[in-house]
Amino acid sequence: MIATVSLAPLASEEVRRNPYPFYAHLHELGPVCEVEEGTSRYHYVVHGYDAAGKVLRDPAFRVVDSTRLVEEPTWEQEPTQSIFFNSMMFNNDPRHARMRRLFNQVFTARRVAGLEPTVDRIIDDLLEGMAASGAHHTPLEYMAAYAYPVPSNVMGEMLGVPEEDRAWYRPLAAALGVVLELGGSTPENIARADAASRELAAYFTKLCAMRRAEPRDDLISALVAALDAEQAALSTEELLANLIVLFNAGFVTTTHLIGNGLTLLLDHPEAMKALRAQPELAAGYVEEMLRVEVPTHFVIRWAAEDSEIAGVPVRQGKRVLILLSAANRDPSRFPEPDVFDPARTDNQALSFGSGVHFCLGAALARLEGQRAFTMLLDRFADIRLDREPGIPRQLMLRGHDELWVTLD
């Protein structure tokens, strides 16, 4: 018999500060639970590793797209909804496949591997700036100085977003991210997100026009040229939406990987020492960082037809909350799941999802994380927290706003 659970704790201060005991409780109840009526808008919560992977790969379970907004048929007139539901992230096949096919050509393994010199150059410039700003043990805000600009500069160079605009972009991306949180779609948050969406849409419209007039060697120029030649499988609205979502997704999660990863290393000095001595271990470290402190704790699906999850029947139309972070700590899949152990073998977590919506930039995020940590530890012999960091309270895009450190 399937267990029934209340999801009300997910909104509590205690669980937002530390969700892992609640996830451990869910594992005691099985890989999937029915949600107690009145405690959430979802009907099932999936937290077992195998069950979560199955749902993510099963075409019977789909992302929430505009076809689900039967009560809001005018979504295209809402700025944030228009961006989300014109992007591949919030679409199912065949529309998702049509859009993603174009961007898959950019994020091939060969192209990502070829970006390593660019990534190293960007990181090296940032480390030089940190060495100057943090001289004589002057406290330095790590997120703004390093964790944010590493991925934003890499994505900016790929897409063609000018360097002087990348810092301006951060608060606008944050405004969009807030509405994706559980319970985040408050009128106030939506108003801020809509204002950010209008600003971002206007920005990328202008940038596309600039690249149309003066093309460069970047993705925006290539996409605009293909669109004008009617070779791109995108409408103008889809192009703008995907540029905004792709740039956001391409740096926000990696920013938190680089931030959360540092706190894990500082909490485990022996592991930091080992990585400094053996930088070739970086790939395993990044995988374990993503497993233990994944920035994206959940994704949402709905049943497009009658189906089942781990033997539990799920009727068409039911909404499913998939807790990726809980699946990454499933004790039936990972021994001592709460322990940070970079030496784990067979450490394939669900941090980037699975199935047709597997993260487009996973290979790039891994490369950025590996180079960010190995070059940081090579450049500075000692890194310490200058003050206790604030405890994250979000589940979607979970990470630190600030990390003040001193460097030697």
DSSP string, 88-120: GGG--TTHHHHHHHHHHTTS-HHHHHHTHHHHH
Q: Which CATH architecture has domain 4-407?
A: Orthogonal Bundle (1.10)
**CB neighbourhood size of 117 (10 A):** 8
Rounded to 10 deg, the angle between the 269-277 and 282-292 helix axes is 150
Domain coordinates in residue numbering, the chain:
4-407
Chain segment 112-154, per-residue pLDDT in tens: 888 899 999 999 999 999 999 999 899 999 999 999 999 999 9
How far is 30 from 14, CA to CA, in rounded Å?
23
Please check the confidence at residue 262 and state whether its pLDDT lies above 70: yes
- Count of residues for the chain? 408
**Amino acid residing at 248:** N
Average pLDDT over residues 14-40: 97
64-79: average pLDDT: 70
Of 51-55, 77-81, 303-307, where does mean pLDDT reach its minimum? 77-81
Res 75: pLDDT: 60
Q: Dihedral of CA 223/224/225/228: which sign?
A: positive
Cβ neighbors of 17 (< 8 A, separation 6 or more) are 391, 392, 393
Tokens of 75: 């979504």
Q: C-alpha angle 32/36/37, rounded to 5°?
A: 130
Calculate the CA 282 to chain-centre distance.
20
The pLDDT of residue 43 is 97
Q: 228 exposed, middle or buried (CB, 10 Å; 0-12, 13-18, 19+)?
A: exposed
Residue among 85, 398, 103 at smallest CA distance from 252: 398
Dist. CA 56–CA 31, nearest whole Å = 14
Distance CA 89, CA 174 (A): 17
Is the previous residue joined to 279 through a cis bond, with omega within 30 degrees of 0? Answer: no
Beta strands at 44-46 and 32-35: parallel, antiparallel or unpaired: antiparallel
Using the predicted structure, report yes or no on whether residue 72 has a pLDDT greater than 70: no
Q: Name the pTM for this structure.
A: 0.94
